[in-house]
Amino acid sequence: MKKNTNAICILVISICTFLIFGNAAAQQNSVLNIGDQAPPLKYSKWIKGEPVNSLNGEQLYVLEFWATWCGPCKQAMPHLTKLQQQYKGEISFIGVGIWEKVPEGKPYESSLPAVEKFVKGNDANMGYSVIADNNEQFMGNNWMKAAGENGIPSTFIVKDGKIIWIGHPNSLDSILPEMLAGKYDMEAFKTRFTKSAASARKQNAELMAAFTPLQDAMKAKEYSKALELIEQLKLSQPDYKTMMDGMKFKVLLEMDEQKAMNFARHWHKELNSASSIVLGDVYNRDGLSKDTYLWTANSFGNIDTLTNPMLLDALATCFFKGGDFKNAINCQEMALKLARIALKDGTMVGSIMDYTVTDYEAKLKQYKAQL
């Protein structure tokens, strides 16, 4: 069922809008390419593993950039662990946590407790060193953005203090043996990478120019201006229409709840997965009307067909806030059952932890207490 798949990324659209496009002020002018000296490691905390003072020497260092909200990053973790075990003594793997969602006005390092909780709860699937970015977001800016890498997971390989490869972790199985056997052609790879990175930087600059005024209007709470900019962007950047409609709903919810829900109803008829995006903005927000919570939950139709525990947990929250305790209990029971299965089978690595199950149990108890 498509909604169930989309719900895995309930928050991703709104998060990525501000993490990737919303940090325009933090963009660096430096450019990082294959063969360049690797920037230093600067971080808020070395969370796991033996700290590394420098990336010099013939040993390979694999830096894997990730975030707690990134589904593909979580999927890559067990295999990275196997690779670290396979190449122990030859290669050091370091997970670099970046681009966490931080409340407005809070320093970036306020995300550290959540990152530490994630790493501890996912210990078996992260069998390598882990660090978290600092308030400067040094790693995100001076490594990722400088290299033109705008998406995660993203992997950097360093040898003798120089960056010799950048790409997706899926390619490590083929590239690492080549490097260890001395067969890797860095210059040939550099030619290809330089061209793609230049294109990525150009695209990112264009997006920054387009999205920065919207970000500024949102920060200033100039919501009418933000709505105008959103409509302009929908025309000039048609590929981002869904994202812009998601932002429109977010802005309307700040301005007028009724207008926001009227838009949501219309949008839901146009785009089936719109309900997942609406859910991401509604279920964690307090103080909305019961009608808003209940429409959001009921827009998913027959809940008995849903199989994603995170989606069911979010729906349970909406039903509870809407006063429908029976459906809240039903959704939470389903979420708990599926979460226990996922935890046992390891089918939702990094998304369902032992503390997720504990949290679901506490919510179910709370909901049942209302009957």
Catalytically annotated residue among 9, 16, 73, 331? 73
Is 73 among the residues known to form the active site? yes
Is 96 in a helix, a strand, or coil?
strand
- For residue 135, the Cα-to-chain-centroid distance in whole angstroms is 18
User: Rounded distance, CA 209 to CA 197, Å?
Assistant: 18
| Sequence-distant contacts of 256-264: CB under 8 A, at least 24 apart | 257/288, 257/289, 257/292, 261/291, 261/292, 261/295, 264/295, 264/296, 264/299
Catalytically annotated residue among 9, 16, 70, 318? 70
> Tell me, what DSSP letter sits at residue 303?
G
312 touches 338 (CB < 8 A): yes
How many CB atoms are located within 10 Å of the residue 125 CB?
A: 19
Is 16 among the residues known to form the active site? no
- For residue 67, the Cα-to-chain-centroid distance in whole angstroms is 5
**Token duo for residue 1:** 């069922």
Nearest Cα residue to 61 out of 178, 187, 161: 161
- Annotated catalytic residues are 70, 73
